[in-house]
Structure 1
Amino acid sequence: MDEEVDEVSEPLGASSAAGRAALAKRWAPIHYQDVDRTGSHGLEGRGDYLTRVDFDGDWISTNNWDNTPSHPLLAHVYHTVVETSTHWYIIYTFFHPRDWTDTIFDTEHENDAEGVLLVVGRDGSEYGQLLGSVTVAHKDFYSFLPSGSPFTGNHESVDGTLSFASFEGVNHPITAQEAKGHGLKAWPSYDIDGDGVKYFPSLTTAEEPASIYDNDVRYKLIDGFGPEGLWPRRQLATLFTSGSFLGDKSGGCGITSSLCSTNSANAPWGWDDQNDGSILRGEIATDPVKLTTYYFKTPAGLSSTYTFNPFQNVGDPNAP
């Protein structure tokens, strides 16, 4: 499609919803989604398209597998911004209705949500400097640093370099997800292998890929703390249980029933690395300062006091 530039001139610094949206748009990833059309339960690759949790018009997560073939999969990505006086911590959550496989040697489950934490230093400029990232790939986290970052590895080693590409006149980080299981890393640690879609961020436009080869698709950012977000619905009995999306075996999930697991996709406050020591489940989102200083050695002066963190009831996410 023709390039469309969103308005992102809202000033930052007061934790306004518009300011957080502008910040999230500024650093939102250019996203490469690998697609596998073979064996995808007849979806011809659509099982790997990004969308929103309520893509089917309801907030019932146990019918998402069933409803995937019959509804448009318009691309959306959830974001949350947590703030201190020295840094912004931005989570981007990429949702798929199905985590699927075409082999009896792997499992499937309804719903899939993986993502990335970006750490942005507040250096006096409008949108700061991107200093580091931690991605979610199944039960493991992976860290990537841009060239020249003052961060270095700490209790966890750095897994690679964060790459960038220009979009609407500024550089954005590039992330990529696998087909089927949708593990997420910084590109090119994952990459499109044959079929695949390239997504670009927007504050206003959500598109469904025209084909499994579409290399110019807009995803619309959704404020995860806002009225369309997931955090306000964390107690919704039809959607979540203990930080995981509800998911059942209906609608053909699993090549055989035994291969379909239930309640297996986690929300950001349920993301967990299986072996990263003292970092608890969900702290990549709820306490990103703790995770950042565990994963990275950081320059002196990093504040540990949140000025905006609705996960910890600090700040009003509905403030204008």
Structure 2
Amino acid sequence: MIDFTVAIPTYNGSKRLPQLLEKLRSQTGTEHFSWAILVVDNNSTDNTKDVIRLAQAHWPKDSPALDYVFESKQGAAFARITAMERAESEWVSFLDDDVLPAADWLAQAYAFAQEHPDAGAYGGQIHANFEVEPPPNFSRIQSFLAIRERGPTPHRYDPNNLVLPPSAAWVISKRAWQDNVPLHPKLGGRTQDSMVQGDDYAPLLYMHRTNWEIWYNPDMHVFHQIPKSRLDRTYLTTLSRGCGLCICQLRMINAQIWQKPFLFTKLLLSNLRRVILHWIKYRHLIQTDLVAACEMEFFVGSFVSPFYYLKTSLLFRK
């Protein structure tokens, strides 16, 4: 019986995976529980499969099992569903292929699960390793890159206000997932054609609906590797708008049917106000200040999100 699975959804991660696998193979404090690694190849077009096969061929016999599965449907949400179907453990952690865990990350994750049996999910601290220095005031938008540093005290997240841990480094209860998360997600995750986010928050909101707890564990540390390209203006502004476009979809998950028209209108008006106020404050800086530009894109995306929700709902019914 496997106690814990580390799932790694990856798309064209052949250059990133070896370092992550080495970090996992070097985990400490895992002697008292059994665990395995599952790489979910999300329709990669590079040699990801060959990299994993080579790693398996040279994998030490005393290390945890290293398994590989291919998921052809593009989008991290579909890779997670596949991981949940294949995992044999009650607890399944997810690590992005550009996230490197501290040596005791897995031990801390397992210990937290034993202490919090009512947790449906939990995440820890995600620190940034920037290839180049980010612009001033980047902390205002760092959450768009899944950076989370919420202090030294464990606490529950606030799903009602969409304050949740990102999937870059999460742990999920398989039972909470199987009992609540739809097999056909409306938010599939980033692809080559879309930067719409929210695919990681949606499962947590479904769990929250049946009173599963979502926690922050400060003793779990990982380091998100952020290359120069992730600070490119076009990339960041597109990502920021994608973070906004999912807002209405997420808000509707736990809304009653009668509440949805009011919520739709509220989101339109409140986010239009945010757009106007932000433009008034930063209108002379938006073209030169990357942080202000990203915030504007997020507010615009949030304003448009009710219409994106309608479009997605209509397409999903077909």
Same fold (TM over 0.5): no
Report the TM-score when normalising by structure 1: 0.25
In the superposition, the TM-score normalised over structure 2's length comes to 0.25
Structure 1 or 2: larger helix share? 2
Return the structure number with greater strand share.
1
Larger RCO: Structure 1 or Structure 2 (Cα < 8 Å, ≥ 6 residues apart)?
A: 1
